[in-house]
Amino acid sequence: MTEPSMIRLRGVRQHNLKNLDLDLPLNRLIAVCGVSGSGKSSLAIHTLYAEGQRRYIETFSPYTRQFLERMDPPRADLIDGIPPSIAIESGTAVRSSRSTVGTITEINDYLKLLYARLAVPHCPQCQQPVTRDTPESAFKRLEGLPHSSRVLIAFPHIPGDAEHWPENLVAQGFLRLFSNGKTLDLDSLSPRMRSDLAGKETLVVVDRISWGNVPPQRAVDSLATAFRMGCGRAVAVVLPEVLLWFSSNLACAQCRPSTSIPAPTPSLFSFNSPLGACP
């Protein structure tokens, strides 16, 4: 027997409802709206809540039922698929301007935890979703590339003003740069190019890959090296000029300067916490 997917109401005549037929989907947030006297309370409280509460109480023993308040069954031809119900009164027991149904019932505490787990931060500059990448997750994002695509795994690097910065990179095992759509050999840079690139962010090539023709572990290892050398930032250059950026930090890898985004915590979604205040 399959679980019901909706509450079915047929011929509801409770109070001022006139033979109402209605289907309400389960597991949804539903607001009942209408002008005064349209039957909002008759539907929500005296039909749905009353029947759900009545059927729930009937599951208890006769001894227990004598201590519970019971509501009369609503006037209707059919009420099917209704789960146990609970009604929360909107009147505040605590006289405070900050008290709400959410705070009094402690629902807010659960919502803050839920939002902190489901929150998806976005870059305030480019509005794109921001996630923490790993070599493995970056590799999964690249798996859809066409077979035999030429890919450079690289990391961003800002050369210092020292004259021998290319030699320092070569000493660490890196042989090439990617700049202005071209791959350059570090050991063949002219003095003028060295000077032009000094102080500017450029891409140092870790590995050149024919996508799909090398073992996946090689690509993952190259991405790990790029993350380490790029202080958490790495890039895959799909030749001739498509750049796919990754960041192991909670910050946009593509935008510069990048804005660091705080990790989602329950306090960010609390109006009683300074962290939840909009700057």
The model's pLDDT over 87-146, given as tens digits with 9 standing for 90+, comes to 877 655 556 666 777 777 788 888 999 999 998 888 888 888 888 889 999 999 898 899
- Give mean pLDDT, residues 170-181: 87
Is this prediction's pTM over 0.85? no
pLDDT at 69 over 70: yes
Fold of 135-247: Ribulose 1,5 Bisphosphate Carboxylase/Oxygenase (3.30.190)
Tell me, what's the pLDDT at 254? 78
Percentage, residues of the chain above pLDDT 90 = 30
For the stretch 237-261, pLDDT in tens is: 998 888 889 988 888 877 777 777 8
DSSP state of 129: B
pLDDT at 61 over 80: yes
- Map residue 216 onto helix, strand or coil: helix
Tell me, what's the pLDDT at 70? 74
For the stretch 202-229, pLDDT in tens is: 899 999 999 888 899 999 999 999 999 9
Tell me, what's the pLDDT at 259? 74
- Ranking 11-15, 73-77, 85-89, 166-170 by mean pLDDT, the lowest is 85-89
Asked whether the beta carbons of 152 and 178 are under 8 A apart, the reply is: yes
Tell me, what's the pLDDT at 95? 60
DSSP H or E run through 242: strand 242-247
Distances (CA, A) of 56 to 85, 87, 112, 159, 191: 8, 13, 29, 71, 84
Tell me, what's the pLDDT at 226? 93
Helix-, strand-, coil-residue percentages of the chain, each rounded to 5: 30, 20, 50
Domain-by-domain residue ranges, the chain? Answer: 6-80, 135-247
pLDDT at 154 over 90: yes
For residue 1 the two structure tokens come to 């027997």
Strand partners, 235: 154, 245
Tell me, what's the pLDDT at 257? 72
Rg (CA), the chain: 31
Tell me, what's the pLDDT at 96? 67
Burial class (CB in 10 A: 0-12, 13-18, 19+), 276: middle
Name the residue with tokens 């609390």: 270
Tell me, what's the pLDDT at 94? 58
- Which of residues 147 and 71 earns the better pLDDT score? 147
